[in-house]
Amino acid sequence: MAHRIAVIAGDGIGTEVMPEGIRALEVAAKRFKIDLAFTTFEFGSCDYYLEHSKMLPDDWFDQLKDFDALFYGAVGWPDKVPDHISLWGSLLQFRRQFDQYINLRPCKLMPGIKSPLAGREPGDIDFYVVRENTEGEYSSVGGKMFEGTEREIVLQETVMSRVGVDRVLKYAFDLAQTRPRKKLTSATKSNGISITMPYWDERVAEMAKHYPEIAVDKFHIDILTANFVLHPDWFDVVVGSNLFGDILSDLGPACTGTIGIAPSANINPEGKFPSLFEPVHGSAPDIAGKGIANPIGQIWSGAMMLEHLGYKEAADAMVTAIEEVLSEGNRQVLTRDVGGQGSTVSLGQAIAERI
Amino acid sequence: MAHRIAVIAGDGIGTEVMPEGIRALEVAAKRFKIDLAFTTFEFGSCDYYLEHSKMLPDDWFDQLKDFDALFYGAVGWPDKVPDHISLWGSLLQFRRQFDQYINLRPCKLMPGIKSPLAGREPGDIDFYVVRENTEGEYSSVGGKMFEGTEREIVLQETVMSRVGVDRVLKYAFDLAQTRPRKKLTSATKSNGISITMPYWDERVAEMAKHYPEIAVDKFHIDILTANFVLHPDWFDVVVGSNLFGDILSDLGPACTGTIGIAPSANINPEGKFPSLFEPVHGSAPDIAGKGIANPIGQIWSGAMMLEHLGYKEAADAMVTAIEEVLSEGNRQVLTRDVGGQGSTVSLGQAIAERI
Ligand SMILES: CC(C)[C@H](C(=O)O)[C@@H](O)C(=O)O
Ligand SMILES: CC(C)[C@H](C(=O)O)[C@@H](O)C(=O)O
């Protein structure tokens, strides 16, 4: 039986890296005898919005819900559609309606990639950010009063539920359990954000009781970002709320020099709904259309998708191919962001060949 | 007429670095013929809390309101008092009740300090973080429902007012106006936090109209933290909400290797209430009592206080003394965090002598 994959390339460089993601997946599928069936959708992009005045058709949920996974490029083009409209109209809907409550993002210093941090070598940085992906600071609750006057006031609710907090913590503790260092760091800000964040801490302490072998620590988000720069080697599994996880999963890849190549998985662990796999980078309007975007984030996200579908060996082969091509450092092949002169296609082809 | 300074050392290393802050200020005051009168208060510390079941006496506002400035160490000792209680009972009260709506924090790569970022030299990094300091994510509005059950839900409001947002933006634009590069960066997250953050963006766009010479850009907080690491040279004046400013003003000093020495000013620009000057670092229970804490954050905060009181020349002399002692790099004098073997006192004395 074929695994049905819904493909949504989105905007900007999303449309350029997506073909390379598919190329790599097709090669891996062939080699490991996996049956993948791709179906491409045009919606979920700003161009679609300009035509239809919405990011998604009304029946998107039904169109997508029976796929085994969504393979996503990048969305957003602020000159066409304001970001909060394009994102809340697409990606954030998928995450929430398909209850993809885990956002999993590896931060790994790869061979051949220069870290912006002094003296860090591959092996020094290798951790996961586990981000809550459906509630918290990304709420849709709030509004304005006294609009347009000097007294104008704007409110937005942060919403944490016991169910929402506990399930992401459980996932993170379970993940830490599988790692040699068995270490979990919680991102908090309970000294300043005095209602939701102490609650988060409470739930972490409660969950920790069930995992006596895990070494748990916590940092306030301000000093935690500092420690990502100063001591990236301290971290193994880092768990945070929707906003804190968002910040840490951009900062982490920045510290490993891989902001353009980091992958992410938006997971519904129960498999009730399809999970979504996308690069961490955005649609990058500034370099879109030039064919120079790095396709590794898309390809690596494809590897996470295969792993999620149960093909660990194939996923590992894809990541190994990425590592090999990066360590060879062939400037004709690599894209500019990693020190080369090649193109999206040249790098995508090289990785596909290696797989 | 003497300037009346209220001194609150607080907890942990706060009590160790404070005497060095005062030593440096007294020397500067003597040299520049400034009349400073220090009054020390015991409240605002966790030990005070253990005795009185509160962080501050009921009449703290009246006791402090006529001072010209507050000179603060660091507060917090989680093993004695939970952070949200100690902080909301002291520092956050001062900021809010004394309407210190600007939190100003320089991020500067100093001579003799090794940046954790590869290849960065003094001069490469030199910007200010201007943080909103009284509202935003640090609200006291919210609560719990269905407590103790599976349905438990916790809410906390982020509150932005036109007055609150506009006044911090105005301060930041005015500051950018005084700087050679005339550049202002706004921290936002309007793609995900869809009510308050688009409002923040709107007010930035509105304010920018009054400052045609200022080059304005904005980044979402996730990629902004990444850019602090990747391109710290891009920034001149960075303005953010209470939470985003908090994060950036720890991350910025981390990138300059000065997390232990960065100063901050909590300012009520109208001078209706006293402003408060404190190092960025916390009370650091882990190294408290050892006499090894770096006193530069406290001393530099003292310099910001003198500048605020109108003594720019004296403030510059203090900062120059810090820079000179750092560039000399005498290991007997410097504390461990900056590569030496000296003590809080040895470093404080060396700077005082240089002033
Ligand atoms: C201690 C804490 C409440 C405080 C804050 O978050 O404002 C601190 O981190 C700071 O930056 O001054
Ligand atoms: C585009 C934006 C809404 C999104 C987020 O904040 O979740 C992105 O930054 C991410 O990390 O996936």
Please tell me the residue having the least CA distance from ligand 1 atom 5: A192
Helix or strand (DSSP H, E) at A246:
helix A242-255
A285's tokens = 């309007």
- For B133, which residue in chain A has the nearest alpha carbon? A192
Confidence grade of residue A196 (pLDDT, cut at 50, 70, 90): very high
Sign of torsion over alpha carbons A252, B293, B286, B302: negative
Question: B10-35 burial, b for 16+ CB within 10 Å, e for fewer?
Answer: bbbbbbbbbbbbbbbbbbbbeeeebe
B246 Cβ closer than 6 Å to some ligand 1 atom: yes
A328's tokens = 């060879």
Residue (of B102, B74, B26) closest to B260 by Cα position: B74
- A295-321 pLDDT, tens digit per residue, is 999 999 999 999 999 999 999 999 999
Residues of B in contact with A194 (CB under 8 A): 84, 88, 138, 140, 156
C-alpha B98/C-alpha B15 separation (Å) is 23
Q: Does the domain formed by A1-113+259-355 have CATH 3.40.718.10?
A: yes
Those residues of chain B that have pLDDT short of 70 are none
Q: What is the pLDDT of residue B84?
A: 86
| CB distance B45 to B9 below 8 Å | yes
In the sheet where B142-145 sits, what is the strand order? A142-145, A153-161, B153-161, B142-145
Judge: B253–A226 Cβ closer than 8 Å, yes or no. yes
Nearest-atom index, ligand 1, CA of B87: 3
B44's tokens = 């605002």
Confidence grade of residue A126 (pLDDT, cut at 50, 70, 90): very high
- What 3-state DSSP class applies to B282? coil
Q: Is the pLDDT of residue A259 over 90?
A: no
B192 Cβ closer than 6 Å to some ligand 2 atom: yes
Which of B55, B83, B145 to mutate against chain A (most A CBs within 10 Å)?
Answer: B83
Residues of A in contact with B282 (CB under 8 A): 223
B341's tokens = 């073997």
Domain assignments of chain A as residue spans, ordered by start: 1-113+259-355, 126-255
- A90-116 pLDDT, tens digit per residue, is 999 999 999 999 999 999 999 889 899
Nearest-atom index, ligand 2, CA of A250: 11
Nearest-atom index, ligand 1, CA of A223: 9
Helix or strand (DSSP H, E) at B308:
helix B296-308
Cα A92 to ligand 2 centroid, rounded to whole Å:
8
Mean pLDDT, chain A, whole residue set = 96
Q: Specify the residue for token string 């849709």.
A: A140
Q: Specify the residue for token string 């902004």.
A: B224
Q: Specify the residue for token string 């916390």.
A: B282
Question: B166-200 burial, b for 16+ CB within 10 Å, e for fewer?
Answer: bbbbebbbebbeeeeebbbbbbbbbbbbbbbbbbb
Ligand lying nearest the CA atom of residue B103: 1
The rounded Cα A226 to chain-centroid distance in angstroms is: 21
Q: Specify the residue for token string 């202002």.
A: B184
Residues of B in contact with A166 (CB under 8 A): none
C-alpha B71/C-alpha B278 separation (Å) is 6
Confidence grade of residue A17 (pLDDT, cut at 50, 70, 90): very high
Confidence grade of residue A83 (pLDDT, cut at 50, 70, 90): confident
Judge: B162–A140 Cβ closer than 8 Å, yes or no. no
Q: Is the pLDDT of residue A220 over 90?
A: yes
Judge: A226–B92 Cβ closer than 8 Å, yes or no. no
Which amino acid is residue B19, in one-letter code? Answer: P
- For A120, which residue in chain B has the nearest alpha carbon? B118
- What 3-state DSSP class applies to B118? coil
Which of B153, B190, B243 is facing A161, going by the closest CB pair?
B153
Burial of A324 (0-12, 13-18, 19+ CB in 10 A): middle
Judge: A255–B138 Cβ closer than 8 Å, yes or no. no
- B26-82 pLDDT, tens digit per residue, is 999 999 999 999 999 999 999 999 999 999 999 999 999 999 999 999 999 999 999
What part of A 136-195 touches B (C-beta under 8 Å)? 137-138, 140, 142-144, 149-163, 189-195
Q: What is the CATH number of domain B1-101+263-355?
A: 3.40.718.10
C-alpha angle A141/A142/A147, rounded to 5°?
Answer: 155
Q: What is the pLDDT of residue A301?
A: 98
Cα B264 to ligand 1 centroid, rounded to whole Å:
11
Q: What is the pTM of this model?
A: 0.95
A94's tokens = 């998928």
C-alpha B333/C-alpha B352 separation (Å) is 12
B191 Cβ closer than 6 Å to some ligand 2 atom: yes
Residues near B249 by Cβ (< 8 Å), separated by ≥ 6? A222, B103, B105, B107, B129, B131, B262, B264, B280
C-alpha A40/C-alpha A7 separation (Å) is 5
Number of A/B CB contacts below 8 angstroms equals: 216
Cα B246 to ligand 1 centroid, rounded to whole Å:
7
What part of B 270-299 touches A (C-beta under 8 Å)? 282
Q: Specify the residue for token string 């009510």.
A: B195
Which of B87, B195, B227 is facing A156, going by the closest CB pair?
B195
Distances (CA, A) of A350 to A167, A262, A332, A345: 39, 18, 10, 8
A20 Cβ closer than 6 Å to some ligand 2 atom: no
Judge: B144–A82 Cβ closer than 8 Å, yes or no. no
Q: What is the CATH number of domain A126-255?
A: 3.40.718.10
The DSSP string of A258-307 is -TTT-EEEEE-TT-SS-EEEEESS---TTTTTTT----HHHHHHHHHHHH
Which of A159, A193, A254 is facing B138, going by the closest CB pair?
A193
Residues near B254 by Cβ (< 8 Å), separated by ≥ 6? A225, A226, A227, A229, A230, B116
- For B225, which residue in chain A has the nearest alpha carbon? A251
